[in-house]
Structure 1
Amino acid sequence: MLDSNIKGLFKKVEYQIANLKGLFSKNEKQMLDNVNEFKKDNEEFKDSQKYVLSLHVEDNENPHNVTKEQVGLSDVENIKQAPLNEFNAHVLNTDIHVSKEKQTEWDKKETVEGAQQKANDVHSKSKAELDEHSRNTDIHVNIDEKEKWNYVYNSISKAKTWQSPTLLNGWKQYVPSDGSPQNLQFSKNVQGEVEIIGSMYGGTIGFDVAAFILPAEYRPLQTSHFIGVASSSGTPGIPQYHRTYIGVDGRVSIQYSSNTSNPSEFITFGFKFSTR
């Protein structure tokens, strides 16, 4: 009976041992799988960190924004340095550098005292010439003369007003195709000078035929004749002219035009005469 119980207990123990072995094998496999998975993850992590680290190492754009103050270089100026080969080329350039011998030679030709004396001499001469120039009243204008001349100029400018005459005997105001102003008009300044400018066309040409008549205060001291530009239409390439008569009665007549083809096509004025 005892042996039977012992055998039963022994089998139960063996069964439990077998179960424990099964559990151990299962746990051992799971542990090995976990270890392998951890190794794989660890290798992938190391590879990724190695790649990130290599990118960081190769980054020369100051990724941490380190300042020169942080590394103790706050007193260093930001000056671009020349490469060594360029610096050596500059040092060895004898065309732009002066040797000690040349400097000594040049120093012998002029001293600081000598240069100062020459500068003093030039200054004194210039001062004397300036003083002489300033005292020359023949070439300078004083304030009284300037005001007098300005008064005359301003008076002439203000007094000069333009009027348009009444055209007679078929004459009309000329208007060029390009639209440039050629208004026929006259004026008189304070010195009694009358000026006639502008253009007309289409009227009758004749010795006693008036194109227009000037007012009494705009008439010349004596009968006057003037030569002006006439149209060259009909005579290509040949400049044409007209002869104008201005009488003491104020009559302005176109007496003749050299353009026999189109004598009154274009008559322009640019005359000036005195009334006193």
Structure 2
Amino acid sequence: MSNSQFIGQLKQNNIQINNLKDQFYRTEAHMSAHENRLSEKVDDFMEKQNFDLKMHTQNTENPHHVTKEQVGLSNVLNEEQATKVAFDGHLEDKKNPHSVTKSQVGLSKVDNIQQAAKIDFDAHDADLDRHITKDERSYWNGSDERSKSFLAEHTDNQSNPHKVTAEQVGLGKVDNVKQATKSDFDNHLNDTNVHINKSDRDRWDAAQLSKITKDNGSVLINVSQGVDFQSVTMGQRKTFTFYTAETGINTPPVPTRGMYLYSSSAYGEATAFGNDGSLWRKSLSSGVWSDWINYETEQGSIKRLAAHSDNTDIHVTKDDKDRWNGTVKYANIMLKNGATVGTRTPIYAKWGALLVLRGHVRTDPEIIFGSIPSSMVPAGGTVATVSLSGTGGTANLIIYDNGDLKIKYPDPADSSKLGGYYIDVVVGFQKGDTA
């Protein structure tokens, strides 16, 4: 192969290689774009699956239509169950609530009569005066004359020797009592005071039959320790009277007696009277119970108001008010050595155990500018900080034991630049006063 052919073949190979690279790059870009689209599709799919799974998990309306047979309750009826209180009441009822008869327990032939005790039976069995022996029976049976005598005596006996009963002659329902005469019976039959008519019966039959108290007039329901008042009320479904112990559940904190007024299973009102004279109310509205609310009586309000009025910890007396509002009397500070009144007259006062100074004074520092009575000054005197007017800043107010007042300022040479001093301070305890 010549050089020209070799070079031509090499160029052709380079072109093919470049074409393959270009095709590779395009294929790679296509695969990358396809991979991105596929990833987005997968993310959308997973997001939708997670959302559907979440909605299914949160669905509490039996999405799989589970049946009572599948949870092992196929024999359970969807009916209202008796409350624990009603069940216990039935369980403790010893008065044959189901009206069981003697036939049902296999004693249909047994009479309701008193039975002899074993000791009485044994005594009767051993009574030889009432029983005959075998020898006596043989003797009597062998004596025809004696038998005839006995037969004649028995035949003539008109005192019911065979103990014939009223039942045996078809009069088992007849009482052995004196009978009324026909006239007495007719008079009774026509007595409208002791008989009712049809309208009376109809009116009484339509009357309310639900008891709100026991037969003796006492409260119907006893909500004792550990019994839930709300559950008892929902179980009664009627108006009734009640007693609540303070240890009951959802009951007032004191023993009470009251009445529950029933409207429906979702509405009702309970009013209770405490043994301590308190009045309580509890409501059922739209199936939701309120708390017990204590309604204060007039006597309770008066007592509480009296206790509040007598509480001297939170009330002030007239003497307190007069002392705080009317006894702070100010007097003017006597100015000296060229001191003058500024924007407010300098004054002083004694307020309880405190010395009160007010006002604005113009004076040079380091001189006695005024004085107050020594009886107003704390023992040994005192120093207070006051504000400067004009240029601003602070200075010290010296109150001497004898009542003299002086301004102490760090730089007296600059005092000409000052507009005065605000002596608004409250200091110390006064001589002779106590805290």
Whether TM exceeds 0.5 here: the answer is no
* Structure-2-length-normalised TM-score: 0.21
- Bigger helix share: 1
More contact order relative to length (CA 8 Å, sep ≥ 6): 1
* Structure-1-length-normalised TM-score: 0.32
